[in-house]
């Protein structure tokens, strides 16, 4: 049997897996719940990874076959003190020596450009959280953001949803202008009162993902022309641009031509967020090319496995 690989992308809200061979044509896909290594308990992370991989293997009719390599890119993995217990647990599932554990940003960067995985590029991930990760000449890398919603990740889905809820509370409290976010929250968000909202936020065990779940309501209000919602998305674009230009400056790419690949649910907002994002990047790196990644992160994980194999063979 021709060798095959499993690529896994674990984030704060969702985990995705793909099975493919060297040609990168997906044979099967799978999905499961959150797998942020910094905010989810280790057993939950392993469960999400295993479930997504099992679904992908089943879809590929390879349920009982052994993969050549399983590349697991997880949000938050750079924030944990010791990766070894997590790696050991994943190797118990997939086999000793078969797992490459890295960050979600690393696999996303490997899928950013259509050609060489070693070319200068920056990837901007904005899902529940937000991080920019890039590489310059000679393989040097740099990052900005991605340290969790309490101290970082401005411009991510959690931050946008939180700002939307702040606008609602400010309106109710008489400290802010009227906003359609409130109307949508109370009519479609399953919230009946301010007390109900506060109970859900402060007594929930879900954490950042529960707050980020209100992102679609803020987006709907912005599409409807609500001034507060549109302001929130414009600011998110500027916040995300700060991550990108920080990485650009660290890598000395101000005068270079390179892709800035966008990944994550925040970019479903389109021009609402990419307008201010592109404008701010252009001021620092006018030759940067902003757009979707050439490959999704889970396929980027397999590209990373293939590139790593070539370097060590």
CB neighbours of residue 260 within 10 Å: 26
Give the rounded distance of the alpha carbon of 160 from its chain centre.
Answer: 14
Over residues 263-267, mean pLDDT: 94
pLDDT of residue 118: 81
Count of all residues that appear for the chain in the document:
313
**Contact criterion met (CB below 8 Å) for 296 and 6:** no
pLDDT value at position 188?
86
Identical fold between 5-111+296-312 and 118-292: yes
The mean pLDDT of 204-222, rounded to a whole number, is 86
At 121 the pLDDT is 94
Average pLDDT taken over every residue of the chain: 93
Confidence (pLDDT) at 301:
96
Helices (H), the chain: 42-59, 84-94, 104-110, 157-173, 180-188, 194-202, 208-212, 215-223, 227-251, 271-284, 297-312
Percent of the chain at pLDDT exceeding 70: 97
How high is the pLDDT of residue 313?
Answer: 37
* Lowest-pLDDT choice from 19-28, 181-190, 268-277: 181-190
* CA max distance for the chain: 67
Tens of pLDDT along 135-190? 998 889 999 998 888 899 999 999 999 999 999 999 999 999 999 999 999 998 78
Band of the pLDDT at 39, cuts 50, 70, 90? confident
Higher pLDDT, 64 or 219: 219
Q: What mean pLDDT is predicted for residues 96-119? A: 89
The half-sphere exposure of 186 on its side-chain side, counting CA atoms within 13 A, is: 11
What's residue 72's pLDDT? 98
Res. 1: pLDDT tops 90: no
pLDDT range class, residue 57, cuts 50, 70, 90: very high
pLDDT attached to residue 312:
43
Residue 196 scores a pLDDT above 60: yes
Residues 61-104: tens digit of each pLDDT:
998 899 999 999 998 898 888 999 999 999 999 999 999 999 99
At 143, which helix (H) or strand (E)? strand 141-145
The architecture of the domain spanning 118-292 is 2-Layer Sandwich (3.30)
If you classify domain 5-111+296-312 with CATH, what class do you get? alpha beta
In which band, very low, low, confident or very high, does the pLDDT at 206 lie, cut at 50, 70 and 90?
A: low
Q: 18 is written with which tokens?
A: 């793909």
β-bridge mates for residue 134, sequence order: 122, 142
Contact 279, 295 (CB under 8 A): no
Domain boundaries defined on the chain: 5-111+296-312, 118-292
């Amino acid at each position: 049997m021709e060798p095959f690989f499993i690529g896994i992308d674990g984030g704060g809200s969702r985990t995705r897996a793909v099975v493919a061979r060297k040609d990168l044509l997906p044979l099967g896909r799978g999905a499961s719940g959150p797998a942020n290594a910094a905010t989810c308990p280790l057993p939950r992370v392993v469960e999400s990874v295993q479930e997504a991989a099992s679904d992908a293997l089943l879809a590929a009719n390879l349920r009982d076959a052994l993969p050549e390599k399983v590349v697991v890119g997880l949000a938050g993995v750079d924030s944990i003190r010791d990766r070894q217990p997590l790696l050991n647990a994943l190797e118990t599932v997939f086999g000793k020596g078969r797992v490459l554990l890295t960050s979600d940003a690393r696999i996303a960067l490997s899928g950013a450009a259509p050609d060489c995985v070693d070319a200068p590029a920056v990837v901007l991930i904005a899902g529940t959280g937000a991080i920019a990760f890039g590489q310059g000449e000679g393989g040097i890398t740099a990052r900005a953001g991605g340290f969790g919603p309490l101290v970082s990740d401005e411009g991510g889905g959690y931050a946008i949803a939180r700002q939307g809820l702040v606008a609602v509370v400010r309106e109710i409290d008489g400290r802010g202008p009227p906003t359609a976010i409130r109307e949508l929250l109370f009519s479609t968000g399953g919230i009946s009162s301010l007390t109900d909202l506060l109970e859900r936020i402060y007594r929930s065990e879900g954490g950042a993902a529960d707050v980020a779940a209100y992102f679609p309501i803020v987006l709907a209000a912005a599409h409807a022309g609500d001034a507060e919602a549109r302001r929130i998305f414009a600011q998110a674009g500027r916040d995300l641009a700060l991550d990108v230009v920080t990485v650009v400056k660290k890598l000395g790419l101000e005068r270079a031509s390179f892709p800035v690949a966008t990944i994550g649910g925040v970019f479903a907002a389109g021009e609402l967020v990419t307008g201010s994002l592109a404008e701010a990047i252009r001021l620092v790196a006018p030759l940067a090319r902003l757009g979707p990644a050439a490959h999704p992160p889970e396929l980027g994980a397999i590209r990373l496995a293939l590139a790593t194999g070539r370097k060590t063979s």
